[in-house]
């Protein structure tokens, strides 16, 4: 998968240089999730200054120029005199900072601000260098503007979320400092020694007109999927082993008959994870009467692989967007200031929706494997619900309910947001992407996927214990041992929720992935 790598576990994250060149996925993750500082490329900053001279010249022109000497959106034909333009830019940001609902996660806001800064540093937006420097200073001070759940339609940029960030750069609005304390924007800047920016012509528009929110969430989702889809292979391997399945169907020559890249990678993972399993060897001879395993075991590479291919396609789209300069109007390389439609979030909205579909399907297959562990008619000799004393104990019965409830939610979240459009701005913006909403529901979907996989891993670990004295493969056995650090083995019923959350944390941190070791894709 072409996705962001996890940050090193030790040491301070290296500084990320922001300039005219595109940021990498790893750069975005480092700043958003690991507080890596940003440094502005001096040559690119000089390019920003050079482009600003074009805006200054147009500001002095008696002819109206959109975003420089006019109003915005449906008010684009209204000429604004020079003495009112600073107020025009500030009013734009204040009026567009109209979000509502819960606060958006810190990492999302940091990604959003970094990506807007990256576009500013392309020299295509016409802002002054000091404005870019202010954004870098806010990021480095770990000040996080308060951005709300609702407000973006994913067209004309993520307007409200970006406006809340710009408002803090102006010394207004609300923000949280590095410790998470809620402060006024001006108070937060003052405490960090940052001078609020006073916006000049076009700058307010340049700060709010981008796809940065949905792109930031897409990059973070790809980072999550790099972990979760390999974790899904680990969970499937544990289930195949504990349910006395076969690894013969994962053979490389069988996979080559259908040369799908993701499928091949997933099958290779399963082969590596199951290598040397005494459990598989115990029933691999001609005395095994099983003809073929259920689809949730046998077809794991096909489903997990399709999700991998979907993630790779999404990564291709995200990489192109990282190399983009999204603004309207934009300053072209030859110095023209041109209106355009590059702020439309359709490319991102589509792939965000695709990923929610893939996430729901991988989780659905995982839940089916979990259910198979608990059904005495299908689990090949294990006790019903893996209970210690059947009848007195319920075992993991309700853990499967939890997984099923999450999967049902994920199916609802798989309904595309990008097929919807509600016209706005007096019908000037008559088709919008809803890409922000696609990104928000994907984040919830990936959280659910991690929880469903954790429940399968916890269940499979108990099944592996119940197969003793037969032993699992080295990799799957290591995962089982890791699970035992947060969830006890078979025994009488006990308070289960803390154990589930413990395994969820192991999945989320990447500990499950690390414990399996080996060369996994």
Catalytic residues: 66
Q: Judge if the upstream peptide bond of residue 469 is cis by omega within 30 degrees of 0.
A: yes
* Residue reference for tokens 């853990």: 399
Give burial (CB, 10 Å; 0-12/13-18/19+) of 35: middle
Mapping DSSP to helix (H, G, I), strand (E, B) and coil, where does residue 260 land? coil
Helix (H) or strand (E) holding 176: strand 174-176
How many Å apart are CA 169 and CA 163, to the nearest integer? 10
Mapping DSSP to helix (H, G, I), strand (E, B) and coil, where does residue 285 land? coil
Phi, psi of 40 (to 5 degrees): -90, 130
How many Å apart are CA 51 and CA 56, to the nearest integer? 9
How many Å apart are CA 114 and CA 148, to the nearest integer? 18
CA atoms within 13 A on the CB side of 12: 6
Given a contact cutoff of 8 angstroms between Cβ atoms, the answer to whether 516 and 475 are in contact is: yes
CA 380 to each of CA 4, 98, 233: distance values in angstroms, whole numbers, following the listed order = 40, 58, 22
Spell out a b/e string for 193-226, using b for 16 or more CB atoms within 10 Å of the CB, else e: ebeebebbbbbbbbbbbbbbbbbbbbbbbbbbbb
How many Å apart are CA 320 and CA 19, to the nearest integer? 16
Mapping DSSP to helix (H, G, I), strand (E, B) and coil, where does residue 519 land? coil
How many Å apart are CA 337 and CA 328, to the nearest integer? 9
């Amino acid at each position: 998968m072409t996705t962001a790598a996890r940050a090193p576990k030790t040491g301070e994250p290296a500084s990320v240089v922001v300039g005219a060149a595109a940021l990498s996925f790893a750069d975005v993750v480092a700043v958003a999730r690991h507080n890596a500082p940003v440094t502005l490329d001096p040559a690119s900053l000089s390019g920003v200054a050079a482009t600003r001279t074009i805006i200054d010249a147009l500001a002095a022109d008696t002819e109206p120029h959109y975003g420089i000497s006019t109003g915005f959106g449906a008010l684009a034909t209204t000429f604004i005199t020079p003495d009112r333009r600073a107020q025009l830019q500030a009013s734009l940001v204040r009026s567009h900072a109209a979000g509502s609902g819960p606060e958006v996660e810190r990492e999302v806001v940091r990604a959003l601000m970094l990506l807007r800064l990256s576009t500013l540093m392309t020299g295509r937006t016409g802002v002054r260098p000091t404005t870019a420097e202010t954004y870098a200073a806010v990021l480095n001070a770990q000040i996080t503007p308060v951005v709300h759940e609702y407000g973006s339609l994913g067209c004309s940029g993520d307007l409200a979320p970006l406006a809340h960030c710009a408002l803090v750069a102006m010394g207004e609005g609300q923000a949280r400092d590095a410790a998470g304390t809620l402060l006024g924007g001006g108070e937060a800047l003052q405490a960090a020694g940052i001078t609020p920016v006073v916006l000049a012509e076009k700058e307010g528009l340049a700060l709010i007109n981008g796809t940065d929110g949905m792109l930031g969430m897409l990059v973070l989702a790809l980072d999550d999927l790099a972990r979760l889809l390999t974790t899904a292979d680990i969970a499937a391997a544990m289930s195949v082993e504990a349910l006395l399945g076969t690894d013969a169907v994962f053979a490389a020559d069988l996979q080559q008959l259908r040369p799908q890249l993701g499928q091949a990678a997933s099958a290779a993972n399963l082969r590596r994870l199951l290598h040397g399993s005494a459990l598989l060897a115990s029933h691999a001879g001609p005395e095994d009467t099983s003809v073929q395993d259920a689809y949730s075991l046998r077809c794991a590479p096909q489903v997990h692989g399709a999700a991998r291919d979907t993630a790779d396609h999404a990564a291709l789209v995200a990489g192109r967007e990282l190399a983009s300069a999204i603004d309207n109007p934009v300053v072209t390389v030859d110095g023209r200031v041109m209106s355009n439609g590059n702020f439309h979030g359709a490319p991102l909205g589509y792939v965000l929706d695709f990923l929610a579909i893939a996430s729901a399907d991988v989780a659905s297959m995982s839940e089916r494997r979990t259910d198979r562990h608990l059904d005495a008619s299908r689990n090949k000799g294990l006790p019903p619900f893996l209970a210690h004393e059947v009848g007195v104990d319920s075992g993991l019965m309700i853990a499967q309910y939890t997984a099923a409830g999450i999967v049902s939610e994920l199916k609802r979240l798989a309904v595309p947001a990008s097929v919807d459009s509600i016209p706005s701005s007096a019908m000037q913006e008559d088709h919008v992407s809803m890409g922000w909403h696609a990104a928000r529901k994907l984040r919830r979907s990936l959280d659910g996927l991690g929880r469903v996989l954790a429940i399968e891993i916890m269940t499979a670990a108990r099944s592996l214990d119940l197969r003793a004295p037969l032993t699992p493969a080295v990799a799957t056995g290591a995962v089982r041992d890791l699970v035992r650090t947060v969830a006890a083995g078979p025994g009488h019923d006990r308070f289960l929720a803390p154990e589930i959350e413990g395994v969820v944390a192991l999945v989320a941190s990447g500990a499950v992935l690390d414990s399996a070791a080996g060369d996994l894709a």
